[in-house]
Structure 1
């Protein structure tokens, strides 16, 4: 059996720079792994894919990216082995934190090992692209500048383990709807991603906090004003930098360390939504072989 921890991501900047020939939005985003993780356990079975989750709200069939990642590996490699996967969710779902993408990336890495497929890093990244825009980053992890649909990755100098407060309002946000609204509204304030990259290279933490930005934030907040309510609360609680992650609705506050993040989180009204605190980390996936019984 293999146990895998799959890390969530946040977007320090998120910008849309144009449209690609296939109609997808062209992105430029600085992404960061955080230590909030889902846990997946993989065990061999003679055939078939069986997915079990600890949440009644998470699908356990082909609509789940974990299941689709396993199916994709079988189809591409011709592998006839089966697997049972247990998924324990800690990352809020559909929240702009890449939880499904992280789980899919973990599945690619774990089954490549468990099924002895021998796929190269480049081959795994090629499969990750087929599953979703955030999946390649969720294989790579750390601090990364991503372009294209999210598959063109440039590693950046790792940042120290800064603290992060995550607040996820109880909202169901559709990523597709947010991008449609972006195309309609075309908000004009773009984050300064080159300046963010420079601040990261210089390890200038206060500049990083000041340069946080997300072109989709005003779009999501127009539809869901609670996003701005959460932003205001995080700033009032003392977070040096605050921005929405991905297409939302999660808003995060960047802090100097995990201790400060814990203190900021304690000052927030629980009615804002699900409140978590964590820290930056330099990896996306941790695999461990499980021996004996559990």
Structure 2
């Protein structure tokens, strides 16, 4: 378990880390409309945190207001109620969500919050579900949720549910929030989106072969929101390798990798003040160990 405060009745400061897509290729589309993709998901040490307090009356509630996220549609509440229903638990929970990750940023904040909720309440409620069962449950909430329960950096295929553990280099990232919200359905439904990138192999990424590691969603997002393109173009001046600066997920956050913290900090100090920006370190595993 993580080093946050944990008792039989509560678990405070549970981390819900962000992820970056080191690349994101769209390789096809299923008949049901879901897109087939390949990506490497990289955990980073930038996190939301959640507090859980067990209730005996079965009631589940979020204890704080979050702009733009009504409680009934919050993935945290949906995750808690899904686990409660699946496990037939008679317990409930008071949940406080400390939101640090941007919404609509492509860093997986909502999915990570849901995954941490499933892991924490599975433990506190003593539901007894193993990792595979929690991942299957999480898939009902969203394609990215199983990854955070999987808890390791992963080569991702299918609609995001096929995961192979992968070791990634120790890196630091400068991340910029351009200040726009990108609805994922808008990007995936765009006619301009290319859906025929040639599939790659996990060994291609591991061996750093000469493959164009790009984000197929980036061009569509940049066409819709010039501020994303502006942030990428600004970061490009600090690239170590061509193509290092790119968008993560369906946007809007963009990032660039650096070999150490000092290099990342020097770039961070130069970021124009009209953008929110931060640095993050690559993680090899989720802070919560199942």
Are 1:235 and 2:240 matched, yes or no?
no
Q: Structure 1 CA distance, aligned partners of 2:140 and 2:91?
A: 22
Q: Deviations over 1:144-191 (max 9, x none)?
A: 1111111110111x223301011011112110011111xx11337848
For 1:116-195, list aligned pairs within 5 A.
116-156=126-166, 158-181=167-190, 184-187=191-194, 190=197, 193-194=200-201
> 3-state DSSP class of the match of 1:8?
strand
Report the counterpart of residue 219 of structure 2 in structure 1.
Answer: 218
Question: Please, what TM-score do these two structures have when normalized by structure 2?
Answer: 0.89
Q: Structure 2 CA distance, aligned partners of 1:189 and 1:17?
A: 5
Instruction: Tell me if the contact between 2:38 and 2:199 (Cα under 8 Å) persists in the aligned partners.
Output: no
Q: Deviations over 1:18-75 (max 9, x none)?
A: 122422111111111011011111111122111134x642525121100000010111
Q: 1:56 to 1:188 in 2, by over 3 A?
A: closer
Equivalent of 2:281, from 275, 279, 282?
A: 279
Q: 1:193 to 1:256 in 2, by over 3 A?
A: farther
Q: Structure 1 CA distance, aligned partners of 2:204 and 2:282?
A: 16
Q: 1:198 to 1:266 in 2, by over 3 A?
A: farther
Per the TM alignment, residue 258 of structure 1 is displaced from its structure 2 partner at its CA by 2.2
Q: Deviations over 1:206-256 (max 9, x none)?
A: x79x85410000010011111111011112245641110000011111111
Instruction: Tell me if the contact between 2:135 and 2:149 (Cα under 8 Å) persists in the aligned partners.
Output: yes
Q: Deviations over 1:2-27 (max 9, x none)?
A: 13101100101111111224221111
For 1:36-185, list aligned pairs within 5 A.
36-46=46-56, 47-53=58-64, 56-156=66-166, 158-181=167-190, 184-185=191-192
> 3-state DSSP class of the match of 2:189?
helix
Q: Which runs of 5+ in 1 are unaligned?
A: 289-294
Instruction: Tell me if the contact between 2:26 and 2:194 (Cα under 8 Å) persists in the aligned partners.
Output: no
Instruction: Tell me if the contact between 2:28 and 2:196 (Cα under 8 Å) persists in the aligned partners.
Output: no
Most deviating of 210-219 and 171-180: 210-219
What do you get for the CA RMSD once the two structures are aligned?
A: 2.2
Instruction: Tell me if the contact between 1:238 and 1:264 (Cα under 8 Å) persists in the aligned partners.
Output: no
Q: Which runs of 5+ in 2 are unaligned?
A: 1-9
> 3-state DSSP class of the match of 2:28?
strand
Most deviating of 278-287 and 29-38: 278-287
Q: Deviations over 1:119-155 (max 9, x none)?
A: 1111101101101011111112332111111111011
Q: Structure 1 CA distance, aligned partners of 2:199 and 2:15?
A: 32
> 3-state DSSP class of the match of 1:62?
helix
Instruction: Tell me if the contact between 1:166 and 1:252 (Cα under 8 Å) persists in the aligned partners.
Output: yes
Q: Structure 1 CA distance, aligned partners of 2:267 and 2:86?
A: 47
Q: Structure 2 CA distance, aligned partners of 1:5 and 1:191?
A: 36
Question: Please, what TM-score do these two structures have when normalized by structure 1?
Answer: 0.87
Per the TM alignment, residue 287 of structure 1 is displaced from its structure 2 partner at its CA by 6.9
Equivalent of 1:26, from 36, 44, 59?
A: 36
Are 1:15 and 2:11 matched, yes or no?
no
Instruction: Tell me if the contact between 1:7 and 1:33 (Cα under 8 Å) persists in the aligned partners.
Output: yes
